[in-house]
Amino acid sequence: MRYWGLLCQILVFVVCCQSQSKKIVVRVVVPPTTPKEASVFITGNSPTLGEWDPGNVRLQKVNDSVWSFSGTATVGDFLEFKITRGTWPTEAIYVDGTIPQNTTVRVLSDTILVLKPVTWNDFSAARKKQMSAGGITGTVKHHRGLSGDGLKYERDAIVWLPPSYEKDTRRRYPVLYMHDGQNVFDPSTSFLGSDWRADEVADSLIRAGAIEEIIIVAINNSPDRISEYSDTPAGRSYAKFVVERLKPLIDSTYRTKPSPENTAVMGSSLGGLVSLCFVWWYPEVFSKAGCLSTSVIPGSREDILKEIHAYKGSRKNVRLYFDVGGMERGTHPNTIYRFNPIPGCAVIRILGGGAGVVLPGSCA
């Protein structure tokens, strides 16, 4: 009888576990413009969905028009994902000219989703129009094919010079380093088809007297973006490349103010995460970081936060800015609050429904 009771408990456990696991099927009816040789991928916020690597999880081809993904998730999971042809510039588009929000689903039961994109981002007529109308405001210089120890791929850096640079040859300037350089200045290289307009915004603020003139260095990402922009060996190699290879190149080529007080770093999503890493690992080089929509989903991307919380050394003289958009806060209600327990952190204001967080000078 004792063994019969144990067997019943095991069966109950197995049944309960199975009842918590639900099947998720995503079928994609591809646009007629899809190349015959193309593959279709899903990328999203879980290991099953590839953790936002656009070319990691390939769908199965049903026929020339339909591709299918099948996986499992636990009841209560919140899934969000996008469809690509293997890269972000080839993202599926559902309204031409509009980059879609993530497709989302709260797992409550077995679910089948059917998606019907109208085109791909690289084939979008609206995107091509935006790109042809775009351009870069001001003067930029290109440094191509830069390599670093521990990095598999070379990358380019684009340097934007402020309005007075060629006129006032005695003047020196603070420097802002920005990740995902393809997105910073030029719509023709941005994966969204529209850039961040850092050149236009900086130029306008400078001419209005709202900010000091600065140099902006945009560092292109590589196919190893996910690992290079995280607290991984590749991320450490990327940071070392910027500190030991790129920054000396910039400081020796341009009239910079090389001190940490005049050196900042900024990025979005994983670029925000690695910006946090930069100031934490190299406070003697970077004193400020802008971390926008920082990607700190549970898992390895939280390692840097664990490192910060475990830190017992002297205070670091760094300032950080964080923000999270309102829609992000709605889908990830705990995201911004992971930062709040950092010693010295405080929520300073609400931005678009998210929260802005700052670490004042001399905080740990």
Q: Which of 62, 96, 127 is the last residue of a domain?
A: 127
C-alpha atoms less than 13 angstroms from C-alpha of 184 in its C-beta half-sphere: 26
Cα gap 125→133, rounded to integer Å: 13
- Mean pLDDT across the stretch 316-328? 78
Does residue 6 belong to any structural domain of this protein?
A: no
Q: Under 8 Å CB-to-CB from 173, ≥6 apart: which residues? A: 162, 165, 212, 213, 214, 215, 254, 255, 256, 257
Q: What residue numbers bound the domain in which 85 lies?
A: 16-127
Q: Are strands 215-219 and 111-115 parallel, antiparallel or unpaired?
A: unpaired
Shared domain for 149 and 270, answered yes or no, is yes
Shared domain for 192 and 304, answered yes or no, is yes
- Mean pLDDT across the stretch 52-69? 93
Q: Which of 100, 127, 154 is the last residue of a domain?
A: 127
Compute φ and ψ for 198, nearest 5 degrees: -65, -30
Cα gap 209→47, rounded to integer Å: 47
b or e along 71-109 (b: 16 or more beta carbons within 10 Å of the residue's beta carbon)?
bebeeebebbbbbbbbebbbbbbeeeeebeeebebebee
pLDDT, one tens digit per residue, over 127-136 is 666 555 557 8
Taking alpha carbons only, the member of 181, 180, 104, 107 closest to residue 140 is 181
pLDDT, one tens digit per residue, over 190-215 is 776 678 889 999 999 999 999 999 99
Does residue 3 belong to any structural domain of this protein?
A: no
- Per-residue pLDDT at 123 exceeds 90: no
Q: Are strands 175-178 and 263-268 parallel, antiparallel or unpaired?
A: parallel
Beta bridge partners of 350: 355
CATH of the domain at 324: 3.40.50.1820
